[in-house]
Structure 1
Amino acid sequence: MKVLLMPIFNGLRARNFFLTDLYPELLKSGARLVVLAPSHKVDYYRKTYAHPQVVFEEWNPAREHRLGAAIQWLAFNALGTGTVRAKQYSFYVRDRNFLKYAARRLVGIAFGGARWFRKFLRMLDRLLVPADARLLEFIKAHGPDAVLAPDIILSSDRLVLRAARAASVRSIGMVRSWDNLTAKGVIQVMPDYLIAQTGEMKKEAVQLGEKRNFCVLLIYPWVAALFCARRSSASTAGARASCLSKSLHRP
C-alpha cells in the first residue's frame, strides 16, 4: 500500500483536496493518507473526512528558519511580474518606506526573469536551511512513498518539502490558486513534480522557468471554464467541452 503524507492548513486547501476527485481517487487506488493538520482543525477533519485509509496527525508548524524567511523575501521580489511590481508599490503606499521599496524594486530589476538566480536561491535553501525535526519524525514514523504539498508557496509546505528532500522522499507540489505562479514569488523549494490545474497554468510555469515535470489535473473546473470562455467565442456546450479537454490533455 502506497503512503502519501501531506499538510492541510486552511479551508481552501481542504476544499482543493477533500472536495475534488483527488481524495476519492487516491482512496480508490488503495493509497494510505497521512494528513498533517493544526490543533484547531484536526478534530474537525477527523470527523468530517474520516476513512480507514486516512490518518490525521496534529502538527503546528514552527516559524520558518530565519535563513528560509530571508530567501523567501528574495524569492518574492525576484519574480519580476507585473503583479509583483504592483504589490511592491502597494507595500510602499501602505508603509511609506522608500528604502524598503527601493530594495524590493532593485531585486526585481536586477534578477526578475533570471533563471540562474532562481536556481541560485533554491541552492541556497538546500544548503543553508535545515529540515524541520518534527516533520522528519513524522516521515520516519509513517514511511511515506511521497509527500504532497498542496500550497508550495506557503511556509508550512516549504517545511514539508524540505523534510522530504532531507529524507530522500519523492515530493509532489500543487499551487493553491490560479494566480500564485505570477503573484506569490519564485517557487523557493521545488518539488520533484508539479501539478498544474489547467493547461494555462502549466504554460505560465514553463514560461516562468519553474518546472517541466508536470501533471495537468483539473481540480478547479471553474477556473478552466473561465480560461476557455476567454479563449473561445463559441457558446455551444460542445465547443467549451472541447476547450476543456484540450486544456486537460495538453502535453
Structure 2
Amino acid sequence: MTSDQPNRVKTIFLVVPQGFAARYLLQTDIFPTLRDSGHRIVLLTPEEAHKALAESSPDNVSWEKLETEKAQAYIENKPGQRFLRQVRFYVLNKKADLASIDDHYEVFLAENKNCGIGERLSIMTSRLLINLLRSSAVLRKLLLAIEAKLYNPGFHEELFAKYKPELVVTTSFGNVGESIDFFLIREAKTHGVKSVTVFLSWDNPTSKGMGGALPDNVITWTEVMKKEIISYHDFPADRISVGGVAHFDIYARKDQLPSRDEIFSKFGLDKKRKLLLFGTKSPVSYPWNPDIVRIIGSAIDEDKFIEPCQLLVRLHPLHYSGKMNNVAGQEIMRAYHQHEENYEHVHINQPDVRDSAMRHDMPKSEISDLAGILNSSDILVNMVSTLTIEAALLDVPIVNVSFEGDPKRKIHPRQNIDYDIRQCHNQRVIKTGGVSMARDEADLIESINRYLENPSLHAEERNIIREQECGPNKGSAGTTIANQIISLL
C-alpha cells in the first residue's frame, strides 16, 4: 500500500494479450508480488486460458476478457487506422540509429514491388508521411493525438466503469505484432487513468516502430533500453524506471534449476557427450534451421568435433504459429524429425505451446526447462536471439550462425540473415566480441571446436553482454518491477 493512503485498496488492470506477455507478467515474480500487495488485480486476457489463475488466487484477483477479436475487426474495418498503423511501423526519431526499421521498410517495398496503381499511390503517400514523421517530434505527437481522437472505440468501457482502475499495465506501446495495447492506453487516458508499459523484449524499442499511444510511465530492462525509449520514442527520462529482466531471475537461482542429471535423463541425453544446444530462430524469418541441424548432426557422426558431442534442438515457439501452417512450415517440421531419425545423437525438444486463442501460450514449467537445458549445455548455437544474452548470464559459450542454407527454402524477402545481423540490438552484442560469428559451414564447426578446446574463451566479453543487456536486480527483477508498478498507484 502507498504510505499516504495505507488502507485504500486500488485496482490494477494487467493486460495480457499473448503468451509471451503471460510468461513475463504472470509466470515471474511480478504477478505474485502484485497479488500479495493486497491491491485488486484484474487480469485481461483474450480468452479463458488464465481464468483459472484468477479463480485459484485470493479474492483480490479477477479475470475479464480482453476484446482482441473486436479490436482486430475494428482495425480491419477502419482503413485510416490500418494505414496509420502500417506507417507507424516504419517511423522513429531519425536522429537515432534506424537500421532496424530501414531494413523492415526495404522488405515491405520488395514484397510490394509488383503491386497495382492504387497500392503504389498508397506506398508513395506513406513514404512521404514516414519521412515527415521521422523528422519531427511535433508531428509524431500530433499523429498520436489525431489517432486517439478518431480511433478510440472504448471496447472496455464497461470494465472501466465496473472496476474504476487506478492503473493500466501493458507490455508494449501497441507496436509489437498485432498488439492492441494502444487501445487500452487510449481508453485509460479517456478515463483519466494512469498507464505504464513494462517492456517485454530487448529489441522492442528499436525494431518495432512507433507506438499507437504513449503511456504515462515506462519500466525497462536496462539503462541502454531507457536511453532508447528517450531517443527513439520522445519519452521523458523522469518517467522511466529500470527494473531488470523478470524472466531472467531464474538464472540467478541456480539451486532452483533442474540439475544436469535431471535434464539429461528427461531428454534422453548421453552423459558421456558434450551437449550442443541449437536454439532455432523463428522459421518465418529463417527457414534454414533444419539445414543447421543437418550440418551439426553430420559433423558429430563424422567425428569432426574434437570431443564426442550430441545436439539438442530447441524449436522456437513460432514454429507453432498460424503463419507456419502451410506447405513450407510442414516441410520444415518433417525435416527436423527426419534428421532426428537419421542422426543418432540429434534430439528435438518441442516446447509445450498450448492450443489456445492466446498465441504462444506456454506453461510456467517451460521457463525452468529452458533455463535448465541452457545451464546444462556446453555451447549454444543460435542466430543472434534473446538466447544469446541468456547464455551470457550463465557464461555458456555462444556461436551465432551468420549464413543461410538451401536457397529453395527462401520464399519471401524477409528471409535474410543479414537483416538480423544489422538489427541495432544484435549489433550491440556482436560488437562486444562475446559471440563467435560463423560465416559458413566450416566456420561453424571450427567455432564449436574452439569453445570445446577452451570454454573460457571470450568469458570477459560474455560478462560485458551480461552487464550491458541483462539489467540490474538479477534474481529479484520481478519483485522490483512489481514494486515499481505499485509505486505508481
Q: Tell me whether the two structures share a fold, i.e. TM-score over 0.5.
A: yes
Q: Does 1:85 align with 2:85?
A: no
How far apart, in 2, do the equivalents of 1:104 and 1:158 lie? 21
> How does 1:141-152 map onto structure 2 within 5 Å?
141-152=162-173
Does the Cα contact within 8 Å between 1:77 and 1:107 map onto a contact in 2? no
How far apart, in 2, do the equivalents of 1:236 and 1:88 lie? 33
Q: Does 1:216 align with 2:222?
A: no
Return the letter of the residue paired with 1:51.
S
Structure with greater helix percent: 1
SS state at 2:89 partner: helix
Deviations 1:35-73 (A, max 9, x none): 11123xx1x212246311211112333234524333323
Following superposition, the deviation at residue 104 of structure 1 comes to 4.1
Following superposition, the deviation at residue 29 of structure 1 comes to 1.7
Following superposition, the deviation at residue 77 of structure 1 comes to 2.7
2:45 corresponds, among 26, 29, 37, to: 37
Give the match for residue 235 of structure 1: 460
How far apart, in 2, do the equivalents of 1:209 and 1:58 lie? 30
1:204 corresponds, among 228, 235, 250, to: 228
What value does the CA root-mean-square deviation take over the aligned residues?
Answer: 3.2
SS state at 1:4 partner: strand
How far apart, in 1, do the equivalents of 2:433 and 2:142 lie? 36
Following superposition, the deviation at residue 144 of structure 1 comes to 0.9
> How does 1:1-20 map onto structure 2 within 5 Å?
1-20=9-28
Compared with structure 1, are the counterparts of its residues 97 and 182 closer, same or farther at alpha carbon in structure 2 (3 Å cutoff)?
A: farther
How far apart, in 1, do the equivalents of 2:133 and 2:40 lie? 42
Give TM-score, length-normalised by structure 2. Answer: 0.45
Q: Does 1:58 align with 2:65?
A: yes
Does the Cα contact within 8 Å between 2:144 and 2:212 map onto a contact in 1? yes
Deviations 1:118-156 (A, max 9, x none): 111112123322341x31110110111111112222542
Q: Does 1:94 align with 2:100?
A: no
How far apart, in 2, do the equivalents of 1:157 and 1:93 lie? 29
Compared with structure 1, are the counterparts of its residues 238 and 147 closer, same or farther at alpha carbon in structure 2 (3 Å cutoff)?
A: same
Q: Which moved more, 1:6-15 or 1:93-102?
A: 93-102
How far apart, in 2, do the equivalents of 1:239 and 1:130 lie? 44
How far apart, in 2, do the equivalents of 1:195 and 1:60 lie? 25
Give the match for residue 69 of structure 1: 82
Following superposition, the deviation at residue 9 of structure 1 comes to 1.9
Compared with structure 1, are the counterparts of its residues 238 and 177 closer, same or farther at alpha carbon in structure 2 (3 Å cutoff)?
A: closer
Deviations 1:150-187 (A, max 9, x none): 22225421111111111111111133322122122212
Structure 2: state its 5+ residue gaps. Answer: 1-8, 249-385, 394-427, 435-457, 481-489
- Percent sequence identity is 22
> How does 1:166-181 map onto structure 2 within 5 Å?
166-181=190-205
SS state at 1:96 partner: coil
> How does 1:178-193 map onto structure 2 within 5 Å?
178-193=202-217
Q: Which moved more, 1:190-199 or 1:69-78?
A: 69-78
Does the Cα contact within 8 Å between 2:11 and 2:165 map onto a contact in 1? yes
The number of residue pairs the alignment matches comes to 245
SS state at 1:235 partner: helix
Give TM-score, length-normalised by structure 1. Answer: 0.82
Q: Does 1:127 align with 2:149?
A: yes
Does the Cα contact within 8 Å between 1:131 and 1:162 map onto a contact in 2? no
Compared with structure 1, are the counterparts of its residues 228 and 199 closer, same or farther at alpha carbon in structure 2 (3 Å cutoff)?
A: farther
How far apart, in 2, do the equivalents of 1:37 and 1:77 lie? 28
SS state at 1:148 partner: strand
Return the letter of the residue paired with 1:36.
L
Does the Cα contact within 8 Å between 2:10 and 2:39 map onto a contact in 1? yes
Compared with structure 1, are the counterparts of its residues 114 and 57 closer, same or farther at alpha carbon in structure 2 (3 Å cutoff)?
A: same
Return the letter of the residue paired with 2:103.
A
Does the Cα contact within 8 Å between 1:35 and 1:56 map onto a contact in 2? yes
Compared with structure 1, are the counterparts of its residues 242 and 87 closer, same or farther at alpha carbon in structure 2 (3 Å cutoff)?
A: closer
Following superposition, the deviation at residue 197 of structure 1 comes to 1.8
How far apart, in 1, do the equivalents of 2:90 and 2:28 lie? 33
Q: Which moved more, 1:65-74 or 1:111-120?
A: 65-74
Following superposition, the deviation at residue 102 of structure 1 comes to 4.2
